[in-house]
Amino acid sequence: MARGTEGIRCTGIPPFSDLFGTRDVTQAFLPLPARSQGALVNVASLAAWAAVPASVGYSISKAAVFSLSQSWRAILAGGGVSVHVVLPGPVDTDMTKGFDEVPKPSAESAARNIFDGVEKGEEDIFPDPVSESVSESWRSGAIKELEHRYAAAYLAVPPGR
């Protein structure tokens, strides 16, 4: 057996409640932000970019939420709905108890930073010290530029085509 594979278990499909819950709730309530030219705020995670080996399903589902949100950002842009993705690192909650190697803001502090990011019109919101440390390289990077190019190409195609 290869090094490290003895602890791997394939237990079926990862828990995609993050993805399907985000999709289903957004579809149910989309008329509200569309009428008011409001905002959607989806919570992904830095685990969408850098998988957490002990939480494979979590990492996969957060990557899916991130991709879904990028797609909706382009699709809904013409209707005046802004789509924001929150990419937190560790925040001081029950989920991160015992994970003391990095600074963790309170949930209240992270929430304030999320609201501030929406008010500033930030597409991708980095509400804590760990995520903020990668924010500039993301915002000015080639992949973010590619996202914008794909969105522009999508918007250039006439509806119904």
Residues 6+ apart with CB under 8 A from 73: 82, 83, 85, 123, 147, 151
- Residue-wise pLDDT for 89-117, tens only, equals 989 888 888 877 878 889 999 999 999 99
d(CA 23, CA 146): 23
pTM for the complete prediction? 0.82
Burial of 57 (0-12, 13-18, 19+ CB in 10 A): middle
- Identify the pLDDT of residue 43: 94
* All residues at 6 or more sequence positions from 129 whose CB lies less than 8 Å from its CB, including other chains: 89, 102, 103, 105
